[in-house]
Amino acid sequence: MSERDVMQARGQVVRGVVVAIRDDGQAQTVDVETHEGILRAAVEVLQPFGDASRAPLGPGTMVLLLAVGGDQGDMVALPVAMPSLRFGGLQPGEKVIYDADGNRVHLRAGGIVEVHAATKIRLVAPLVEIEAATVTISGNLDVAGQVSDADGSMQEMRDRYNGHGHPGTSGPPTPAMD
């Protein structure tokens, strides 16, 4: 193999430092410095279907670039990495989805799914079903809508309580249930 062939083969995969990220089109693109003073602009980042992320830009934000068909003018980037923020310490078979703010969904060994949110978890759906033998809630529970179980709603229970009386008393109990 000639030195030219070796250099051409070495150029097929290049590590680069990300200097800009754009995530507003069909594909995320990055500007990458591959070598001192050599900038590759608007390189498409390949992301698997159903998995999208945008790494924070900072020291250590990097990608691997692949020269498609060996053409240095036609490069694509593998997903952006930032080793300084990597979530580590996983056990064999575990997976975690995480971000720079400390949010994470951790598929843990032993069949445990652990969700950590830095500020709030919001579920948006027409219907949310929880199927479990036991549900435990620690902390306050604030409900904006109706609460019901197999025997009726909380409002029906309040109405029954507030509407009943006892012989020899002058009306419903006080204080009334709100």
pLDDT at 167 exceeding the cut of 80: no
pLDDT of residue 162: 81
Residue 105: per-residue pLDDT: 97
Q: Exposed (0-12), middle (13-18) or buried (19+): which is 81, by Cβ within 10 Å?
A: middle
How far, in Å, CA of 63 to CA of 87, rounded?
17
- pLDDT (0 to 100) of residue 10: 81
Q: pLDDT value at position 9?
A: 80
Residue ranges matching CATH 2.40.50.230 in the chain:
3-83
Residue 166 has what pLDDT? 75
Mean pLDDT of 18-34: 96
In angstroms, the CA 162 to CA 172 distance is: 6
Kindly tell me if the per-residue pLDDT of 128 is higher than 80. yes
Task: State residue 102's pLDDT score.
Answer: 93
pLDDT at 33 over 90: yes
pLDDT tens column, 93-122: 999 999 999 999 999 999 999 999 999 999
- Residue bearing the bigger pLDDT, 160 or 53: 53
Q: What is the 3-state secondary structure (H, E, C) of 17-45?
A: EEEEEECCCCCCEEEEEEECCEEEEEEEE
Q: Give tens-digit pLDDT for 67-92.
A: 998 888 899 999 999 999 999 999 99
CATH classification for the domain delimited by 3-83, as one of 3.40.50.720, 3.40.140.10, 2.40.50.230, 3.30.70.270: 2.40.50.230
Say if CB 19 and CB 81 are below 8 A apart.
no
Residue 135: the pLDDT is: 94
pLDDT in the model for residue 126: 97
Lookup: tokens for 169: 């008393």
Indicate if the pLDDT at residue 177 is higher than 90: no
Please, what's the largest Cα pairwise distance for the chain? 109
